[in-house]
Chain A
């Protein structure tokens, strides 16, 4: 059964078609990677799935419901969690408060109900020592971890990760990948946009290639990476 399904979804900004008749399904529990050159419309696609943008055409179904016109806050409650490419923590709130805000509103739960799940997310994302630091004081890796933690705190069925491994050192990247694998192993469906391909390939089971807003390939990661079209367009290699 698909947890997310896009059917002919299009979005234009003025004359520029950023998402062009995109259709794909994500089965429950799968980890899907999305790659594509800069400006291919990857983040726009995420914005359409989270409800930050509303599509001009097409239909988006999440968890058996048509969510095409459902506002962002209701999609969070339905189970769409998202991390940002550029971390956007609530800087004046502490790390733990960031999670509490996400958890109480994202799950429509009381503070008492979310304390334990939030502490658990802190432990799993390695942020426990920073729990009471204002989020504005965190390092880049910690901010990326907070992005992941905050998305997790909303109790998502579908987790959207936007270039979460970008700008990290090799060791930092490895530990983050392990955390994401653990989350995936628990049954959370993941869609991950990433330029750091080895990190992506360590987790995803399926790969989607986007170029000029169109899906130009979707399938087994190895086959996709080996295909001539993808190598030409995405990697810029003359074959």
Chain B
């Protein structure tokens, strides 16, 4: 029974990784932009929620609601003013610019908040749990997982059921032809990054409430997000969730065997999937 419990914890942890990865996957899927600052943007979002919590005294969930529109606008401007200029046939400029952005964000946060680790307090919710028979799960991890599912369902609805989603898919397919249909790819990309920032805000909420964070934890989150996206197959959001779950389960199983193996086990699982299915579990585009 202890194993079943461990696997459940891993699955729920996978929901958090899927949240980390969903925004990355969205942006890559639409504009082939690999955002190396994605992890730092999540940390940035966590600090923003922290500020709202401490200044306005709001509950973290309400604070995230306040931070979300700010992050949305931030993403729109970031894409329109900076990242759009890096897009083209060459893949190097976006990598360099987002790498630079990552450094700027880390050092900016270090300057503003010091290297002390922080945490967004959820009060009693942090220790609340529900039990079914011998298995119990924390309410917060359950909410994290449920949020991941909701985010993926919402993004899929947006993609396949709305006009903006069609514009996303058309532009992702062929930006030049799309512009001949009257679509403005620069605005479509800005909207996509803005929406990705909403997902980043949700990821930031659970990052900040689950464990301590400091200005330098972004890159490690980015690695998990990358691994989840690649295991799932580029561009498939449900695949990204599956990828997150695989890493989460591998980590908790590794930790159950030997606490030192937690991180290693996640990376090994990633490499094993790559060996067997180099294009990921659910590759898109057939």
Instruction: Give me the interface of A with B, judged by CB distance under 8 Å.
Output: 50, 52, 71-73, 76-77, 82, 84, 88, 90-93, 97-98, 100-102, 104-108, 110-111, 150, 154
A90's partner among B170, B179, B184 (CB-CB below 8 A) is B170
A88's partner among B163, B177, B183, B285 (CB-CB below 8 A) is B177
Residues B172-216 near A (CB distance < 8 A): 173-174, 176-184
Residues B114-168 near A (CB distance < 8 A): 163, 166-167
Query: Is A72 in contact with B179, judged by CB distance below 8 angstroms?
Result: yes
B169 contacts the other chain (CB 8 A) = yes
A105–B169 Cα gap in the complex (Å)?
14
Query: Is A105 in contact with B173, judged by CB distance below 8 angstroms?
Result: no
- The 10 closest A-B CB pairs, nearest first, are A105-B182, A76-B182, A106-B182, A90-B173, A102-B181, A101-B170, A90-B170, A105-B183, A88-B177, A73-B182
A111–B166 Cα gap in the complex (Å)?
11
Which residues from B are CB-within-8-Å of A111? 163
Shortest Cβ distance from B164 into A: residue:
A104
A108–B174 Cα gap in the complex (Å)?
20
Shortest Cβ distance from A111 into B: residue:
B163
Instruction: Give me the interface of B with A, judged by CB distance under 8 Å.
Output: 163, 166-167, 169-170, 173-174, 176-184, 285
A82–B39 Cα gap in the complex (Å)?
42
Which residues from A are CB-within-8-Å of B182? 73, 76-77, 102, 105-108, 154
Query: Is B183 in contact with A73, judged by CB distance below 8 angstroms?
Result: yes
A101–B285 Cα gap in the complex (Å)?
20
B181's partner among A52, A71, A110, A154 (CB-CB below 8 A) is A154
Query: Is A92 in contact with B173, judged by CB distance below 8 angstroms?
Result: yes
Query: Is A101 in contact with B183, judged by CB distance below 8 angstroms?
Result: yes
A91's partner among B163, B166, B173 (CB-CB below 8 A) is B173
Query: Is B169 in contact with A90, judged by CB distance below 8 angstroms?
Result: yes
Query: Is B174 in contact with A90, judged by CB distance below 8 angstroms?
Result: yes
A107–B182 Cα gap in the complex (Å)?
8
Q: How far is the CB of B185 from chain A (nearest CB, A)?
A: 9
A25–B112 Cα gap in the complex (Å)?
64
Which residues from B are CB-within-8-Å of A108? 182
List 29 A-B pairs, Cβ < 8 Å: A52-B176, A72-B179, A73-B180, A73-B182, A73-B184, A76-B182, A77-B182, A84-B177, A88-B174, A90-B169, A90-B173, A90-B174, A91-B173, A92-B173, A93-B166, A93-B170, A97-B169, A100-B163, A100-B166, A101-B166, A101-B167, A101-B183, A102-B181, A104-B163, A105-B181, A105-B182, A107-B182, A108-B182, A154-B182
Which residues from A are CB-within-8-Å of B169? 90, 92-93, 97
B177's partner among A90, A106, A107 (CB-CB below 8 A) is A90
Q: How far is the CB of B173 from chain A (nearest CB, A)?
A: 4
Query: Is A105 in contact with B167, judged by CB distance below 8 angstroms?
Result: yes
Interface centre among B169, B173, B174, B181 (most CB of A within 10 A): B181
Interface centre among A73, A77, A104 (most CB of B within 10 A): A73
Q: How far is the CB of A110 from chain B (nearest CB, A)?
A: 8
Known: A90-B169, A92-B169, A93-B169. A73 touches B179 (CB 8 A): yes
B173's partner among A52, A73, A93 (CB-CB below 8 A) is A93
Which residues from A are CB-within-8-Å of B167? 101, 104-105
Q: How far is the CB of B232 from chain A (nearest CB, A)?
A: 18
A111–B165 Cα gap in the complex (Å)?
12
Q: How far is the CB of A202 from chain B (nearest CB, A)?
A: 27
A106–B180 Cα gap in the complex (Å)?
8
Which residues from B are CB-within-8-Å of A104? 163, 166-167
Which residues from B are CB-within-8-Å of A107? 182
